[in-house]
Amino acid sequence: MASSYEAYELLERIEYLRKYLIEVASQNGYTSDESIQVSQELDKLLNVYQKLTTSEDVHRIRKKSRSNEQRGVC
C-alpha cells in the first residue's frame, strides 16, 4: 500500500500537470500534439490516484468491518 506521502506527491504532480495542460492548450490549442500528450499523462496519473484511493478505502472498510465483527457489532 502506498504511503500518504506518495499520495501527496502524486496529487502535487496531478495539480502541476493540470495547470500545465491549461497553459499548453491555451497557447497551442486543445488538439495540439503537446496538449494531447500532457492530457494523456494527466489521465494516467488520475487513474493511478483513483486506484490508490479506492484500494486504501477498501482496505480501511475491511479492517473496520473485521474490528466490528470481533466486538460483536453489526
Q: Can you give the residue ranges of every domain in the chain?
A: 4-68
Q: Is the dihedral of CA 39, 45, 51, 57 positive or negative?
A: negative
Q: Burial code of 48-69, b = ≥16 C-beta within 10 A, e = fewer?
A: ebeeeeeeeeeeeeeeeeeeee
Query: Domain 4-68, what architecture?
Result: Irregular (4.10)
How do residues 8-19 score in pLDDT, each as one tens digit?
899 999 999 999
Alpha-carbon gap, residue 46 to 31, rounded angstroms: 20
- Tell me: the pLDDT tens digits for 25-44? 999 999 999 999 999 999 99
Give the distance, in angstroms, between the CA of residue 46 and the centroid of all CA atoms in the same chain: 4
pTM: 0.71
Mean per-residue pLDDT of the chain: 84
